[in-house]
Structure 1
């Protein structure tokens, strides 16, 4: 197995780990170390990877990047009653060029995803999401990306890729594998009107910070439909992080960002997650602890996954049919979890790759809205994308 790109976890972190309680998470991980090499991946469900690349940060000024503090915070936490085995595979160092780092990340992720191991990427700049997306080229025909961010990061795709423009590259670069892109927690004043209009025109989903803060459960169906989740730490408000990390007085609080991470973990479809835009600093304990807790909640979520999306057996679900403006909408509700889906009708004359996208996760509220003759927004956007 080609994991040549991975360098071991630093001896300093491992020495720190030796001092922890036997019950601590760090003592239960399979860790890539200089002494023992790569751990056995047999039975591993989740793998942590650091990517020490931040050169495409639009504010990059040559500073070094490391995630030792995050590891120390994470290792010191206590696991829940988990059955999933977690490995820490160490770091992908900066390549000669950023493209080399992308290649190393893409190759490593493709191996893990094919082995049904969920990678948790702790990264520098968020443009690494592009390499994460490209890892799926030979794995699945269409990919859904959810970006937890205060900005859309569409940018100008004619210019070189940066951490604030990588989504434009994802949309326009071949092969075209992106089906849906959703931004969770965007703040209007950080986004140009052109970008907001483009999100609408492409029938992509966007959820404002205020919407989500009012009702955090709105993100659950969006994450249930995601393959890739990318979290930008700048979506967290300044009061929750250390001096170097401060970005905006508004944003998610620690509890909200951890809840979002747990929803991502519970999703049966999420097969990779990345946490980006970490800025190490001397007074860093608070940010590294927050990231450690975001990772903890994701692992917790994965341990609570329930296979509730098998609709071949009629005993597993209830089916509801409503009419909205002469359009028949068909809803399914899982008997196991009470989660809801809505069927997207297929246009037979359209050549599309989406045979497996027939069912779209939704909320009970969408069904209630449909009963009151209101077309659910997610259904409308997915239907329009099918027509394009």
Structure 2
């Protein structure tokens, strides 16, 4: 049932039970009062109407509803009869409300779940089947009230209210509907084959049923996502560009402002400069994959972040870089930090190893003989500094060591 249909039915019910004509607009005002708002405009600004057990029940007392009916011009007796009938109507239809703030929080969870469970190259092919995903392969976050995406979509009044808000160019409504309708792109192949007369087995008919169910949902997802993107929502532009493989919308996301998944922006960037910039943003936000990519590209800032975490390879790289540029204090700082982790960068690790055969990769033993190779690192030659400078470098290293992230994750996400 849509909001318009609900208001019409409520109007008829109230007129029949109160014995007096009731304006349609007054039905909306009484609905607002039932949920604790002074007017319908105030209710619409703060919340949307829902049903099917979703959201919060009425908060307005009967006396307050009667008072509101009297304010609207109804006599006391008629107002009391109207309100009694209206309360029963709300209960019968299980009407409730959900605040825009609660829906906004759910939307944030929806985006977060999408990002954290991103295992594919394009970031939107969510096919994993477990309790965190619905039948469409889409992450299912919950509202603070414990309401899932599936439950939200089972509330016709909520969906109708959001569609009405979206029709009034409400960008949050467009974003919410896009998140609710989000699903994988349905494959029309078997459906088209069935139209050509191909006989399908039971499994194939099930796939066709899935297509027929998902195809209209996917169209709604595209429409609302596109409206949000064209309305200036950067995250929506990025999602549209990646899901629907549109370079124009990816470029739009680069031009817009606002919060967005920086690592995804780096992965789809239209220029090398944009990619490097977004990798830096993502790394600063704690995305380990972005930091690694920058480090392996020779980015000094990224190398030093890994060095600070105690990665000996990057400690050596950072120390060597400091020696090369003549920053003696920094070089000694990395040496002392390395010592805190049990490794002396000034000690050579060069050694001979067996090259092939049964002892391949083992320290070379002349008793076995055969081919060999030399591997390891030469000892780092540090510049001469004063005792005071060494003490300052040691203190700085200890400060970095004390601040190192604890645990295997090293406080970085592994996306």
Q: Give the TM-score of the pair, scaled to structure 2.
A: 0.21
Higher relative contact order (CA 8 A, sep 6+): 1
- Structure having the higher Rg: 2
Instruction: Say which structure is richer in helix.
Output: 2
Q: Give the TM-score of the pair, scaled to structure 1.
A: 0.22
